[in-house]
Amino acid sequence: MKKLVLVYNPVSGKAVFKKRLDEIIYKLQSRGCMVIPYRTTPENADLVDFIRLAAPDGIIAAGGDGTVHEIVNLIMREKLNIPMGIIGTGTSNDFATFLHLDTDEYFDRIASGQTMKIDLGKVGDTYFINVASAGMVTSIAHEVDTRLKNAFGKMAYYVHGLKTLPQFRAFDLTVRMEKEEIHEKAFLFLVVNSSVVASFKKVAVQASVQDGVLDLIIMKQCNVADLMIVTTELLAGKDISQRKEVIYRQASTFEVECSEELTSDIDGEVGPKLPLKIETVPQVLDIFY
């Protein structure tokens, strides 16, 4: 019998996961899995000890991007040689959306132990499964009140973004890669592992979690009208990589500097200030898939 620790965030996704907890446990138990739930707290001080004592065959992260980010870093930091599953229940769970981990069939794959190895990104000692960024989108993620996210879900991000659009300021950005150096006035940059960011589904159309590289997207300084057009195309799921306002590259390492004292965003969490060195860690994490 497969033993799984289910780490769940009780307030994610408008706090509705508490109502789904029994359903999730049933779906796993009915497939022959033993489920050991762990309810997250702001500190999660005993989570490592809990997992080591449970000695599971896998860890399932149920929550938003923040919950997934924490479990990824726990597995890597503690060198836990066990696979991870993702059940998206938060306001935003971009990586689960990218891999379509939202069907009943996914529980079959967890129970059968079907996994794949994926790349991660790394900034300093912190790993990320989906995105490292800085600029206008970053500030939106950090400024939206938790109560608004729980009440209105993804719409809270979009409303706040539209409200603050006139305040966006460009900065001088330098990005060094293995074979190229870019200097640009920019509104933001994203270094991504998947194509789904902030619930936009085609931010990086060439992205793959098994190709050994990360994808760079730079939104160049432009007028508000052009910025709105790019945003509208993203909302419509269109490819923006060829637009004149966008720079798109792929590389295994990025050194990023800017003229402002910007704070980065790592998988939706507050990251270090720039400058940053961002690198790909290839084929390093097993996930149920």
| Residues tagged active-site | 269
- Of 122, 73, 120, the closest CA to residue 278 belongs to 122
User: How far is residue 288's CA from residue 136's CA, in Å, rounded to a whole number?
Assistant: 33
Q: Tally the C-alpha atoms within 13 A of residue 172's C-alpha that lie toward its C-beta.
A: 1
Contact (CB, 8 A) for 276 and 123: yes
Contact (CB, 8 A) for 213 and 206: no
User: How far is residue 220's CA from residue 171's CA, in Å, rounded to a whole number?
Assistant: 9
Q: Tally the C-alpha atoms within 13 A of residue 145's C-alpha that lie toward its C-beta.
A: 4
User: How far is residue 103's CA from residue 86's CA, in Å, rounded to a whole number?
Assistant: 11
